[in-house]
Amino acid sequence: MTRAASHGYRLGPDDKPVLFAAGFVLLILLVGTGYTLSTQGSMPLLQPQYILQQLQVGAFLGIVAAGMMLVILLGHIDLSVPWTLTAAAMMATAVGGAWAIPVGIGVGLLVGMVNGLGVAYLRVPSMIFTLGMNAVMRGLMVAHTGGFAPQTAATDLMQYLAVARIGGVIPVALLVWLAVSAAVVVILTRTVLGRAIYAIGNRERAAYLSGIDTSRVILIAFALSGAAAGIAGVLLAGYSTKAYQGMGDAYLLPSIAAVVVGGTNILGGRGRYLGTLVGVILIVLLNSVLSIMQMPEAGRQIIYGGVIIMMLLVYGRGDRITG
For residue range 227-243, what is the model confidence (pLDDT) as tens digits? 999 999 999 999 999 99
Distance, in Å, from the CA atom of 273 to the CA atom of 22, rounded to the nearest integer, reads: 13
Residue 316's pLDDT is 53
pLDDT in tens, 96-108: 999 999 999 999 9
Question: Of the ranges 17-21, 152-156, 195-199, which one carries the lowest mean pLDDT score?
Answer: 17-21
Residue 41's pLDDT is 67
Question: Of the ranges 29-38, 52-61, 239-248, which one carries the lowest mean pLDDT score?
Answer: 29-38
Could you tell me the pLDDT band of residue 14, with boundaries at 50, 70 and 90? low
More confident residue, 6 or 46: 46
Residue 179's pLDDT is 97
Residue 150's pLDDT is 84
Give burial (CB, 10 Å; 0-12/13-18/19+) of 1: middle
Distance, in Å, from the CA atom of 255 to the CA atom of 250, rounded to the nearest integer, reads: 9
Could you tell me the pLDDT band of residue 6, with boundaries at 50, 70 and 90? very low
User: Is 170 in contact with 49 (CB distance < 8 Å)?
Assistant: no
- Residue among 144, 141, 128 nearest 84 (CA): 141
Q: Once rounded to an integer, what is the mean pLDDT over residues 209-237?
A: 97
**CB 291: neighbour CB atoms within 10 A?**
11
Could you tell me the pLDDT band of residue 117, with boundaries at 50, 70 and 90? very high
Q: Once rounded to an integer, what is the mean pLDDT over residues 87-99?
A: 94
Distance, in Å, from the CA atom of 316 to the CA atom of 45, rounded to the nearest integer, reads: 29
Residue 267's pLDDT is 86
Distance, in Å, from the CA atom of 262 to the CA atom of 85, rounded to the nearest integer, reads: 23
Distance, in Å, from the CA atom of 91 to the CA atom of 100, rounded to the nearest integer, reads: 8
Distance, in Å, from the CA atom of 190 to the CA atom of 203, rounded to the nearest integer, reads: 21
More confident residue, 237 or 257: 237
pLDDT in tens, 133-184: 999 999 999 998 887 878 889 999 999 999 999 998 999 999 999 999 999 9
Could you tell me the pLDDT band of residue 323, with boundaries at 50, 70 and 90? very low
Residue 319's pLDDT is 47
Rg over CA atoms, the chain: 19
Containing 170, the helix (H) or strand (E) segment is: strand 170-171
pLDDT in tens, 33-55: 888 888 776 677 778 888 899 99
Residue 38's pLDDT is 80
Distance, in Å, from the CA atom of 117 to the CA atom of 111, rounded to the nearest integer, reads: 10
Distance, in Å, from the CA atom of 246 to the CA atom of 260, rounded to the nearest integer, reads: 24
- Residue among 172, 199, 191 nearest 59 (CA): 172
Instruction: Note the pTM of the prediction, 2 decimals.
Output: 0.90
Question: Of the ranges 188-197, 242-251, 292-301, which one carries the lowest mean pLDDT score?
Answer: 292-301
Distance, in Å, from the CA atom of 323 to the CA atom of 317, rounded to the nearest integer, reads: 19
pLDDT in tens, 268-319: 888 899 999 999 999 998 888 888 888 787 777 787 677 767 766 765 555 4
